[in-house]
């Protein structure tokens, strides 16, 4: 009935976690159904919507089309991992402040894609932000307030004299 | 007014019982009291501020629990077997092999749930699973619950279904014509699901008295809601014989009723909970197959069962925007006054009725503002076809005819040589008036909406001066803030709220309303905080749980802010009055001198005398009783005195004006939309950030329908693009710059003067773009979506046959 399970050691949000999962499971399945990290969402299960976006070694990656086994040896960051003992990530705050959240379902992926963008380019322009978020569909906002939220985070980053949450 | 009785076999819902003026408790009981637009205290402290949403932090951190995030011990996974044929009779279903598969715990077929249901109780034509026939590719036939998804999918393959194929009707005109094929046997009118003819005034006379007439065909295609969260439901049947359903629905109350009817168990044994919801837009406002199947299988297996639709299933469940073929004729006088409008509309309903009865009325009834329309006639016919069923999508029923009407208005303006914004000004109906079809208009800020988009787009200096291929276009619209047509007839309130006050100072509001992302929980919290002079942080909202919350009818028809908002004021003001009374007695002053603001209760004449609100609550509880209250809202009697006159009759209407800028590439037929300016009259903006979000989101959705989205089937009835790669919703790179602005006309009956904001702003986006294309390159595109091929064909046709110039004293078509 159930296929044999693989035991994987994944590095998720700063911790090594070992999980047993069928070999064909995606990273999204392991995150949601084995590790209880349900912040990563499933919207299409085929890489079209971006709701499952996580960061793999700091780069935005679609976890629904990434095999869990392929994430072994890489640093996985989910939306839950952006919250540290110092509080929320800047982007989590600016999305809240700017009203960039309506239903909220695309937001974990959207925020992680934005984080990856700003980590790479802390002073990203609006066009660069648009480019970075092109794989993340939002059906509620028309993106306007999302762009504003990311821009606000770039300004804050500048004011703080650093590029990211480093 | 000269309304003709529509061909309607069903009895209209009974009129609401009039309020008893001799009732001594009328002031307590009456659910349609009016609070007025003024603040409860000296000034607004919460309302109108750019505040955060109450659930935003939970959503930004991934803490917010959506239905698919629920995992219960021993939970099984459900999967649905769907019809591979567009139209077929089911001869036999054999599930024995599937049941024998290891890991399968239960199988269910339509025979076990034969009771018909429909969100509109006059047209119950759906079953949880097909009983005798299937009516579209994707129609649910059987369902399985197994230990995991893979096993459930393998079990589906083992279910044997014998079909007898029937001719599939995929075109609405053919479905109307064919008498030999009936999609719903027993339907009195063949394949017609609803037909409405209403005439107000005399359009023929109006056309005879017109200086300019236009007459044209328009086509609106099908589009889908495509929320990022698909349908999902989890059911548990407990040892206490209580059935609990968690579902991604925007109508938990109607689902509750439908479950009781279909499953044959008493309603008090059912609990329906709507967790956080990942977008809906009207697509989750019917009861759906998975909700019944999850419950039935949970009852059969005594284990929790989850169904999560795939993206493909989401497209088949559909209930998206109805395709409409529309013939419109309109007349204008030389001085720019609209004389009359006549429409003939064929509506493609898909396989089931869903909200179709209402859609058919809305396709005519919601067009009589903001432009004065002295004579009006519409004839709308909705037919069944063997395609995924259509239903309500944002701007239900009226986005399509609005597209036609606003283009006609621009064509008339061109013929009369009047600026398109000016022609709308000249026809502005104003506030406190009644439309030709008997709808009561209260507040109306459409003229200010026109002013705002005219100024923001720099219309006067830029229109006609942008150069070849670039243009500006304008359109207007109106929409309802809820309707007094309740889906099932009853005299009870449409919205309810309950408040509980804790000794800690926390106020909990139990709201029946479904927060589907629009922010209804936040709005309820803002209102209660405003009324009780507290911080929003000290108000918690519990919503959409049938065990805990009073009934609200659901998130549809843009009703929640208006109706639940009024209910929340009602409930909170009872507590407020009680607190003022108790504190006044303690201080030996008149209650009018007691105010609640900023977390304190204080004496208006001696502001040093104050109590923290929590202490004032304690004082009140000590004097009277445990503190709590209920509040409710019901619509007044509204609507024209004719059959169907209550459908589309709303306690208040919102208004929108839009200007779009386009750039047409006449070589490739591609059209860019750099800017869309939308100004929306939502009455008082309870939180401007949320209102702007609704305006921008609406304009975005309309933009996608113009160019990118197309929900259609191939010649076999198979969905042409049931995924988000082919069904292209706009990405961050596709979108125009959306410029939202707000007009606050302060409605006399809305909560603090508020009206709707969620659906109205979508309407004018589409015709504004069409009108801008004419301004850019002189072609009228009338068939959506506007693909490059259509643009090139229209440009070629225009070059071959330049449009005739209107003769100065003649009529041009």
Per-residue H/E/C for B512-577:
CCCCCCCCHHHHHHHHHHHHHCCCHHHEEEEECECCCCCCCCCCCCCCHHHHHHHHHHHHHHHHHH
Cβ contact B520:B555 at 8 Å: yes
Q: Locate the chain B residue with the closest alpha carbon to A91.
A: B60
Predicted pLDDT at A125: 97
Residue numbers in chain A where pLDDT is lower than 50: 1, 163-166
For the whole model, what pTM was predicted? Answer: 0.95
- Residue B479 pairs in a beta bridge with B654
**Within a 13 Å sphere around the CA of B402, how many CA atoms are in the beta-carbon half?**
34
CA of B731 to nearest chain A CA: how many angstroms apart?
Answer: 6
pLDDT of residue B107 exceeding 80, the answer is yes
Asked whether residue B403 carries a pLDDT value surpassing 50, the answer given is yes
Q: Does A43 sit within 8 Å of B228, measured CB to CB?
A: yes
CA dihedral sign, ordered B175, B178, B183, B189: positive
Q: In what order do the strands lie in the sheet with B606-612?
A: B594-597, B600-603, B606-612
Overall size of chain A counted in residues: 166
Query: Residue B664: left if φ>0, alpha if ψ -120 to 50, beta else—which one?
Result: beta
When mean pLDDT is compared across B31-40, B190-199, B534-543, the lowest value belongs to B31-40
φ, ψ of residue B57 to 5 degrees: the values are: -65, -40
Contact A96 B56 (CB under 8 A): yes
Q: Beta-carbon neighbour count of residue B39 at 10 Å?
A: 16
The full DSSP string for B455-505 is: HHTTHHHHTT-S-TTEEEEEEEEEEESS-S--SS--SS-SEEEEEEE-TTS
The reported pLDDT for the residue numbered B331 is: 98
Largest CA-CA distance found in chain B, in angstroms, rounded: 88
pLDDT score recorded for residue B581: 96
End-to-end Cα spacing for chain B: 28
pLDDT for the residue numbered A162 = 54
Instruction: Produce one character per residue of B616-639: b if its CB has 16 or more CB atoms within 10 Å, e if not.
Output: bbbbbbeeeeebbbebbbbbeebb
For residue A90, which residues of chain B lie inside 8 Å, CB to CB? Answer: none
Residue B812 has pLDDT above 70, yes or no: no
B679 has pLDDT over 70: yes
Read off the pLDDT of each residue in B678-689 and give the average, rounded to a whole number: 98
- Say if residues B243 and B321 touch (Cβ distance below 8 Å): no
Phi, psi for residue B304 in degrees, rounded to 5 = -65, 145
Question: B229 vs A39: CB contact, 8 Å cut-off?
Answer: no
Mean pLDDT, range B789-796, rounded to an integer: 98
Nearest Cα of chain A lies from the Cα of B607 at a distance, in angstroms, of 33
Task: Count Cβ atoms below 10 Å from residue B778 Cβ, excluding itself.
Answer: 17
Q: What percent of chain B has pLDDT over 70?
A: 95
How far is C-alpha B461 from the chain's CA centre? 37
**Residues of B with Cβ-Cβ distance to A108 under 8 angstroms:** 62
pLDDT for residue A4 = 85
Among chain A residues, the shortest Cα distance to B522 is held by: A102
Q: Per-residue pLDDT averaged across B531-537, rounded?
A: 98
**B93-105 confidence digits (pLDDT tens):** 999 999 999 999 9
Position B4 pLDDT exceeds 80: no
Length of chain B: 813
Give alpha helix (H) positions in B88-159: 96-100, 149-158
Disruptive mutation site among B49, B54, B61, B62 for chain A (greatest number of A CBs within 10 Å): B62
pLDDT higher than 50, residue B384: yes
pLDDT at B279: 97
How far is CA B76 from each of CA A60, B216, B292, B301, B408, rounded to the nearest angstrom? 32, 55, 15, 9, 55
Q: CB-CB: which of B56, B68, B308 is closest to A101?
A: B56
Cα separation, A29 vs A38, whole angstroms: 10
Of B25 and B243, which is predicted with more confidence? B243
CA-nearest of A45, A43, A63, A68 to A53 is A63
Sorting pLDDT into bands at 50, 70 and 90, what band is B485?
Answer: confident
Model pLDDT, residue B20: 52
Contacts of B309 in chain A (CB under 8 A): none
Q: Which residues of A touch B692 (CB under 8 A)?
A: 99, 145
User: Rounded to a whole number, what is the distance in angstroms from the first to the last CA of chain A?
Assistant: 46
Subunit contact A37:B62, Cβ cutoff 8 A: yes
pLDDT for B31 equals: 54
**pLDDT at residue B458 in the model:** 98
> According to the model, what pLDDT value does residue B801 have?
85
What residues are paired with B600 via a beta bridge?
Answer: B597, B612
Q: Give the mean pLDDT of chain B.
A: 94
* Closest residue on chain A to B67 (Cα): A38
Please, is A131 exposed, middle or buried when counting C-beta atoms within 10 Å of its C-beta (0-12, 13-18, 19+)? middle
Chain A nearest C-alpha distance from B250 (Å): 12
Report the residue from A40, A78, A103 with minimal CB separation from B516.
A103
Alpha-carbon span B742 to B727, nearest angstrom: 32
pLDDT of residue B22: 56
> Is residue B392 a contact partner of residue B141, using CB atoms and an 8 Å limit?
no
pLDDT greater than 50 at residue B400? yes
Residue pLDDT, tens place only, B653-667? 999 999 999 999 999
Q: Which of B307, B393, B523, B732 has the highest number of chain A CBs within 10 A, making it the mutation to test binding with A? A: B732
Residue B223 above 70 pLDDT? Answer: yes
Q: What are the backbone dihedrals phi and psi of residue B163, each rounded to the nearest 5 degrees, phi first?
A: -110, 145
Q: At what angle do helices B356-365 and B399-416 cross, to 10 degrees?
A: 20
Q: What is the distance between the alpha carbons of residues B426 and B725, in angstroms, rounded to a whole number?
A: 45
What is the H or E stretch that residue B204 is in? helix B203-208
- What local confidence, expressed as pLDDT, does residue B469 receive? 96
* HSE, side-chain direction, 13 A CA sphere, residue B217: 4
Query: Does the structure show a pLDDT above 80 at B739?
Result: yes
Using an 8 Å Cβ cutoff, are B339 and B207 in contact?
Answer: yes
Mutate to test the interface with B, among A2, A53, A139 (most CBs of B within 10 A): A139
CB pairs under 8 A between A and B: 174
Biggest distance spanned by C-alpha atoms of chain A: 57
Nearest to B1 by CA among B201, B198, B196, B197: B201
Provide the 3-class DSSP secondary structure of residue B236.
strand
Question: Residue B19's pLDDT is what?
Answer: 47
Query: Using the beta-carbon criterion (under 8 Å), do B693 and A102 form an inter-chain contact?
Result: yes
Answer yes or no: is pLDDT of B797 > 90.
yes
Query: Checking DSSP bridges between strand B539-543 and strand B507-511, what pairing results, if any?
Result: parallel
In degrees rounded to 5, what are phi and psi of residue B441? -100, 125
Three-state secondary structure of B332-356: ECCCCCEEEEEEEEEEECCCCCCCH
Cis peptide before B370 (omega within 30 of 0): yes
As to burial, measured by CB atoms within 10 angstroms (0-12 exposed, 13-18 middle, 19+ buried), residue B241 is exposed
Torsion B22-B24-B27-B30 (CA) sign: negative
Q: Cβ B53–A82 below 8 Å, yes or no?
A: no
CA-nearest of B475, B426, B501, B332 to B774 is B475
Q: In this structure, are residues B169 and B183 in contact, taking their beta carbons and an 8 Å threshold?
A: yes
Whether residues B723 and A42 touch (CB distance < 8 A) is answered with no
Alpha-carbon span B223 to A139, nearest angstrom: 13
| Inter-chain residue contact A141 with B693, CB threshold 8 Å | yes
Q: Do A43 and B229 touch (CB under 8 A)?
A: yes
Task: Give the nearest partner residue to A92 out of B61, B147, B230, using CB atoms.
Answer: B61
* B30 has a pLDDT exceeding 70: no
**Beta bridge partners of residue A27, listed in sequence order:** none
Residues on chain B touching A104 (C-beta within 8 angstroms): 55-56, 58-60, 64, 276, 278, 517
Compute CA B350 distance to the chain's CA centroid, rounded to the nearest angstrom: 19
Residue of A nearest to B56 (CA): A96
Q: Tell me if A88 and B279 make a contact (CB, 8 A cut-off).
A: no
Measure in Å the smallest separation between the Cα of B69 and chain A Cα atoms: 6
Average pLDDT estimate for B527-534: 98
Query: What average pLDDT does range B531-544 have in this prediction?
Result: 98
- Sign, CA torsion B141/B142/B143/B149: negative
pLDDT band at B805 (very low <50, low <70, confident <90, very high): low
Three-state DSSP class for residue B800: helix
Confidence class for position B596, pLDDT limits 50, 70, 90: very high
CB B418 within 8 A of CB B426: yes
Q: Which residue of B has its CA nearest to A110?
A: B60
Judged on CB neighbours under 10 Å (0-12, 13-18, 19+), B82 is: buried
Name which of B780, B808, B796 is nearest B328 in CA terms.
B780
Continuous segment of H or E residues that includes residue B650 = none
List Cβ neighbours of B48 (8 Å cut-off, separation of 6 or more). B684, B685, B686, B687, B688
Q: Looking at the predicted complex, does its ipTM rise above 0.90?
A: yes
Q: Strands (DSSP E) along A32-129, which ranges?
A: 53-56, 59-62, 75-77
* pLDDT of A3: 60
């Amino acid at each position: 009935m159930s296929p044999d399970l693989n035991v994987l050691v994944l590095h998720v949000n700063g911790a090594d976690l070992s999980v047993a999962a069928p070999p064909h499971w995606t990273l999204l399945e392991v995150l949601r159904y084995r590790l209880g990290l349900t912040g990563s969402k499933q919207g299409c299960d085929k890489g079209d919507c971006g709701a499952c976006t996580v960061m793999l070694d700091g780069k935005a990656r679609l976890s629904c089309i990434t095999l869990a086994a392929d994430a072994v040896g890489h640093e996985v960051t989910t939306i839950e991992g952006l919250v540290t003992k110092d509080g929320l990530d800047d982007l989590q705050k600016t999305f809240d402040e700017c009203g960039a959240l309506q239903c909220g379902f695309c937001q974990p992926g959207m925020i992680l894609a934005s984080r990856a963008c700003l980590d790479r380019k802390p002073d990203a322009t609006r066009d660069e932000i648009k480019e970075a978020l092109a794989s993340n569909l939002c059906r509620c906002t028309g993106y306007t307030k999302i762009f504003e939220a990311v821009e606000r985070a770039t300004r804050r980053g500048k004011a703080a004299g650093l590029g990211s949450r480093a | 007014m000269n309304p003709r009785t529509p061909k309607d076999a069903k009895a209209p819902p009974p009129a609401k019982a009039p309020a008893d003026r001799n009732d001594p408790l009328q002031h307590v009981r009456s659910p349609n009291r009016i609070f007025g637009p003024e603040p409860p205290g000296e000034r607004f402290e919460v309302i109108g501020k750019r505040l955060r949403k109450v659930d935003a932090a939970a959503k930004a951190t991934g803490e917010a629990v959506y239905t698919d995030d629920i995992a219960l011990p021993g939970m099984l996974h459900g999967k649905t077997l769907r019809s591979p044929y567009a139209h077929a009779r089911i001869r036999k279903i054999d599930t024995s092999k599937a049941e024998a598969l290891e890991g399968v715990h239960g199988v269910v077929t339509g025979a076990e749930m034969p009771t018909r249901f429909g969100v509109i109780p006059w047209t119950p034509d759906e079953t949880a699973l097909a009983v005798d026939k299937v009516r579209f590719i994707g129609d649910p036939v059987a369902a399985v619950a197994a230990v995991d998804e893979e096993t459930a999918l393998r079990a589906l393959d083992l279910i044997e279904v014998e079909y007898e194929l029937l001719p599939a009707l995929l075109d609405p005109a053919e479905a109307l014509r064919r008498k030999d094929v009936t999609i719903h046997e027993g339907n009195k009118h063949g394949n017609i699901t609803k037909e409405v003819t209403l005439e107000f005034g005399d359009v023929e006379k109006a056309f005879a008295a017109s200086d300019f007439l236009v007459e044209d065909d328009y086509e609106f295609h099908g589009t889908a809601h495509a929320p990022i969260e698909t349908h999902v439901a989890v059911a548990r049947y407990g040892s206490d014989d209580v059935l609990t359903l968690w579902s991604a629905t925007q109508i938990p109350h109607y689902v509750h009723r439908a479950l009781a009817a279909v499953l044959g168990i008493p309603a008090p044994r059912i609990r329906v909970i709507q967790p956080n919801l990942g977008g809906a837009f009207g697509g989750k406002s019917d009861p759906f197959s998975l909700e019944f199947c999850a419950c039935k299988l949970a009852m059969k297996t005594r284990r929790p069962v989850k169904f999560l639709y795939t993206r493909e299933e989401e497209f088949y469940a559909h209930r998206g925007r109805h395709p409409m073929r529309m013939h419109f004729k309109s007349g204008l006088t030389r001085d720019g006054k609209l004389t009359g409008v006549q429409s003939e509309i064929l509506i493609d309903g898909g396989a089931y009725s869903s909200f179709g009865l209402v859609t058919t009325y809305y396709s005519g009834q919601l067009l009589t503002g903001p432009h004065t329309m002295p004579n009006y006639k519409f004839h709308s016919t909705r037919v069944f076809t063997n395609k995924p069923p259509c239903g309500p999508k944002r701007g239900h029923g009226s986005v399509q005819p609005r597209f036609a009407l606003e283009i006609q208005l621009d064509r008339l303006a061109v013929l009369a040589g009047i600026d398109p914004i000016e022609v709308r000004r000249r026809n502005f109906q104003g506030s406190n008036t009644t439309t030709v079809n008997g709808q009561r208009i209260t507040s109306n800020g459409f003229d200010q909406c026109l002013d705002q988009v005219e100024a923001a787009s720099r219309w006067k200096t830029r229109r006609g001066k942008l150069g070849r291929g670039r243009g500006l276009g304008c359109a207007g619209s109106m929409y309802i803030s809820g309707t007094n047509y309740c889906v099932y007839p009853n005299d009870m309130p449409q919205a309810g709220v309950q408040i509980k006050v804790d000794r800690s100072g926390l106020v909990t509001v139990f709201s029946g309303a479904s927060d589907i992302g629009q922010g209804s929980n936040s709005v309820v919290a803002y209102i209660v905080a405003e009324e009780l002079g507290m911080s929003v942080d000290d108000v918690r909202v519990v919503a959409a749980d049938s065990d805990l919350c009073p009934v609200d009818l659901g998130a549809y028809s843009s009703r929640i802010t208006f109706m639940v908002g009024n209910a929340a004021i009602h409930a909170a003001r009872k507590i407020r009055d009680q607190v003022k009374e108790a504190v006044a007695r303690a201080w030996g002053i008149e209650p009018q001198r007691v105010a609640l603001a900023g977390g304190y209760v204080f004496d208006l004449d001696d502001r040093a005398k104050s109590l923290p609100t929590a202490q004032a609550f304690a004082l009140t509880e000590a004097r009277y009783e445990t503190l709590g209250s209920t509040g409710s809202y019901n619509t007044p009697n509204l609507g024209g005195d004719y059959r169907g006159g209550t459908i589309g009759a709303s306690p208040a209407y919102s208004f929108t004006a839009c200007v779009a800028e386009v750039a047409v590439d006449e070589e490739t037929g591609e059209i860019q939309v750099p800017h869309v300016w939308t100004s929306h009259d939502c009455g008082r903006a309870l939180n401007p950030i949320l209102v702007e979000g609704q305006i921008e989101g609406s304009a975005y959705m309309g933009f996608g329908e113009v160019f990118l989205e197309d929900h259609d089937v191939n010649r076999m009835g198979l969905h042409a693009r049931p995924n988000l790669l082919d069904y292209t919703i706009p990405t961050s790179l596709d979108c125009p710059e959306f410029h939202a602005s707000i007009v606050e006309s302060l409605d006399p009956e809305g909560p603090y003067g508020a009206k709707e904001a969620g659906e109205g702003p979508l309407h004018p986006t589409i015709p504004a773009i069409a009108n801008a294309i004419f301004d850019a390159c002189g072609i009228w595109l009338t068939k959506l979506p506007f693909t490059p091929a259509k643009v090139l064909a229209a440009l070629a046709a225009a070059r071959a046959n330049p449009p005739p110039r209107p003769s100065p004293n003649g009529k041009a078509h």
